[in-house]
């Protein structure tokens, strides 16, 4: 690993400006300092010492970066903007601690003991139905909408009836033909989206995979790295590499959170574990590799909104569409700004609510025009952000993970006997 800590990834920038129209914050403000090109100049000045890490004019523009990495695919020079912004934030963290709200969120969401309590309380509150009832705009009401968006949604809610099954009752491929994969559970996904893990296991087993649990795994470290807490991120990365087996393991590690997947695939840069990173696969990658097996018709209209860290960071574009294509009758509508960030960006929606909502606004306008019944996306933060935005805007659509839709199709097909 370079002793420049990631700043070397910015060296290829030639200031061409192709990144400007791909940057949600530049489109929202029109300020060059809120664009990738402008921020790269700030980051270079930070590395060289021309600007101080505690300079408020620097901090505000780097803090307002979503880290969506939408600039990377359009860059003709191959600038590694994501690695650069993490290096810059790590440098900023040497002069200031993360904001109190960020520290509280990291503690509550990712620390093993406290997070179990926090998620249990969140699920209890979710079960009352209160978050959905009060969802709206404003910091607290939007947060309630985000929590409401984590609840499991059944196809019966739009008139599709299917039998109830459990993960253990799936009709499996003969055991000798199964390919073993290891499930990465994560923190937010496991705490609030365990139903997506269940759907992941069932749909993978129908397609010839045997999903195995891995004890000892921890948070992927993405939230910490994005906050500049690089050493904490490295500690978590080493724990995961040890849990999943770096030296003797070769089974694919399946992830259903785009943000976690992007982070795990970059452990080669973070802790020099390229072999582990090469094993990581998004669930849609594994399903698409096997077809996936067609299910029963599900008559709904779906808008697929690709998570930034799936589309831009992992460069996975076609596989989610192939998963949805395995569901007969289901109709996928295209949105003109689908590749733009929704404004979630980990803790960004909590720390920079005004910018987050400004980035979300054009996406909600497109969804109002398209009028889908479901908005499908493969990342917990995106599911929560879009779900809260839909509720606040009065749009009657559910935010769901693509594997949930495939799972319901498989239920109706009788694959879970």
* Percent of the chain surpassing pLDDT 70: 93
Task: Output phi, psi for 301, to 5 deg.
Answer: -105, 125
- The domain spans of the chain are 7-92, 140-159+293-413, 168-288
Cα torsion through 102, 108, 111, 113, rounded to 10? 160
Per-residue pLDDT, 393 = 95
Per-residue pLDDT, 367 = 96
Per-residue pLDDT, 4 = 80
Per-residue pLDDT, 162 = 47
Per-residue pLDDT, 248 = 59
Among candidate residues 140, 274, 157, 253, the one with its CA nearest the CA of residue 204 = 253
Per-residue pLDDT, 302 = 97
Per-residue pLDDT, 341 = 95
Among 104-113, 230-239, 240-249, 349-358, the range scoring the smallest mean pLDDT is 240-249
For the cut 70, the answer to whether the pLDDT of residue 168 exceeds it is: no
Fold observed for domain 140-159+293-413: Rossmann fold (3.40.50)
Q: Looking at residues 211-237, what average pLDDT do you find?
A: 94
Among 92-96, 149-153, 331-335, 396-400, the range scoring the smallest mean pLDDT is 92-96
| Mean pLDDT score across all residues of the chain | 91
CA–CA dist 213, 183 (Å, integer)? 6
Task: Judge if the upstream peptide bond of residue 42 is cis by omega within 30 degrees of 0.
Answer: no
Per-residue pLDDT, 246 = 62
Q: Looking at residues 77-84, what average pLDDT do you find?
A: 93
Fold observed for domain 7-92: Fumarate Reductase Iron-sulfur Protein; Chain B, domain 2 (1.10.1060)
52 CB neighbour count, 10 Å cutoff? 13
Residue 216: which residues within 8 A CB-CB, separation 6 or more? 239, 242, 243
Q: Looking at residues 284-303, what average pLDDT do you find?
A: 95
Q: Looking at residues 187-199, what average pLDDT do you find?
A: 96
Per-residue pLDDT, 45 = 92
pLDDT band at 167 (very low <50, low <70, confident <90, very high): very low
Task: Output phi, psi for 258, to 5 deg.
Answer: -60, -40
For the cut 80, the answer to whether the pLDDT of residue 197 exceeds it is: yes
Per-residue pLDDT, 3 = 74
User: pLDDT tens across 108-119, in order?
Assistant: 999 989 999 999
- Reduced 3-state DSSP string for the chain: CCCCCCHHHHCCCCCCCCCHHHCHHHHHHCCHHHCHHHHHHHHHHHHHCCCCCCCHHHHHHHHCCCCCCCHHHHCCCCCCHHHHHHHHHHHHCCCCCCCHHHHHHHHHHHCHHHHHHHHHHHHHHHHCCHHHHHCCCCHHHHHHHHHHCCCCCCHHHHCCCCCCCCHHHCCCCCHHHCEEEEECCCCHHHHHCHHHHHHHHHHHHHCCEEEECCCCCCCCCHHHHHCCCHHHHHHHHHHHHHHHCCCCCCCCEEECCHHHHHHHCCHHHHCCCHHHHHHEEEHHHHHHHCCCCCCCCCCCEEEECCCHHHHHHCCCCCHHHHHHHCCCCCEEECCCCCCCCCCCCCCHHHHCHHHHHHHHHHHHHHHHHHCCCEEECCCHHHHHHHHHHHHHCCCCCEEECHHHHHHHHHHHHCCCC
pLDDT band at 34 (very low <50, low <70, confident <90, very high): very high
CA–CA dist 366, 262 (Å, integer)? 27
For the cut 60, the answer to whether the pLDDT of residue 2 exceeds it is: no
Q: Which residues pair with 169 in a beta bridge?
A: none
For the cut 70, the answer to whether the pLDDT of residue 157 exceeds it is: no
Per-residue pLDDT, 57 = 86
Residue 328: which residues within 8 A CB-CB, separation 6 or more? 294, 295, 296, 297, 298, 409
For the cut 70, the answer to whether the pLDDT of residue 258 exceeds it is: yes
Q: Looking at residues 402-407, what average pLDDT do you find?
A: 97
Strand order from edge to edge, sheet including 301-304? 331-333, 301-304, 374-376, 398-400
Higher pLDDT, 183 or 269: 183
For the cut 70, the answer to whether the pLDDT of residue 244 exceeds it is: yes
Per-residue pLDDT, 164 = 45
pLDDT band at 247 (very low <50, low <70, confident <90, very high): low
For the cut 90, the answer to whether the pLDDT of residue 163 exceeds it is: no
Q: Looking at residues 368-397, what average pLDDT do you find?
A: 96
Half-sphere exposure of 247 (CA within 13 A, CB side): 1
User: pLDDT tens across 300-340, in order?
Assistant: 999 999 999 999 999 999 999 999 999 999 999 989 889 99
pLDDT band at 376 (very low <50, low <70, confident <90, very high): very high
Residue 298 burial (10 A CB sphere; 0-12, 13-18, 19+): buried
Among 119-128, 157-166, 273-282, 310-319, the range scoring the smallest mean pLDDT is 157-166
CA–CA dist 398, 412 (Å, integer)? 19
């Amino acid at each position: 690993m370079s002793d420049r800590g990631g700043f070397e990834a910015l060296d290829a920038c030639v200031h061409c400006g192709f990144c400007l129209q791909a940057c949600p914050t530049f489109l929202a403000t029109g300020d060059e300092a809120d664009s990738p090109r402008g921020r790269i100049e700030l980051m270079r000045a930070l590395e060289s010492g021309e600007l101080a890490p505690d300079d408020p004019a620097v901090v505000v523009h780097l803090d307002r970066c979503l880290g969506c990495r939408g600039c990377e695919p359009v860059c003709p020079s191959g600038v590694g903007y994501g690695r650069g912004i993490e290096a810059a934030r790590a440098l900023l963290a040497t002069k200031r601690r993360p904001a109190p709200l960020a520290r509280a969120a990291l503690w509550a969401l990712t620390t093993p003991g406290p997070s179990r309590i926090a998620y249990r309380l969140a699920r209890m509150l979710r079960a009352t139905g209160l978050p959905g009832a009060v969802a709206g705009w404003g910091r607290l009401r939007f947060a309630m909408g985000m929590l409401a968006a984590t609840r499991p949604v059944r196809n019966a809610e739009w008139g599709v009836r299917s039998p109830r099954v459990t993960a253990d009752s799936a009709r499996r491929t003969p055991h000798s033909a199964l390919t073993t994969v290891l499930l990465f559970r994560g923190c937010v996904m496991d705490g609030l989206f365990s139903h997506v893990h269940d759907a992941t296991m069932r749909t993978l087993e129908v397609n010839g995979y045997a999903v195995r649990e891995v004890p000892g795994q921890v948070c992927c470290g993405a939230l910490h790295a994005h906050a500049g807490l690089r050493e904490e991120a490295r500690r978590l990365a080493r724990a995961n590499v040890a849990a999943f087996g770096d030296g003797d393991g070769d089974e694919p590690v399946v992830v259903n959170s785009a943000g976690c997947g992007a982070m795990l695939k970059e452990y080669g840069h973070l802790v020099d574990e390229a072999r582990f990173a090469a094993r990581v696969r998004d669930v849609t990658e594994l399903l698409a590799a096997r077809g996936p097996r067609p299910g029963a018709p599900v008559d709904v209209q779906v808008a697929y909104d690709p998570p930034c860290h799936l589309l831009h960071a992992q460069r996975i574009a076609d596989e989610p569409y192939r998963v949805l294509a395995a569901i007969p009758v289901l109709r996928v509508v295209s949105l003109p700004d689908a590749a733009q960030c929704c404004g979630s960006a980990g803790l960004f929606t909590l720390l920079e609510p005004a910018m987050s909502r400004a980035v979300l606004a054009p996406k909600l306008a497109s969804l109002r025009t398209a009028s889908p019944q479901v908005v499908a996306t493969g990342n917990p933060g995106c599911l929560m952000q879009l779900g809260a935005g839909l509720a606040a805007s009065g749009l009657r659509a559910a935010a769901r993970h693509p594997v949930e839709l495939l799972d319901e199709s498989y239920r109706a097909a009788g694959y879970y006997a």
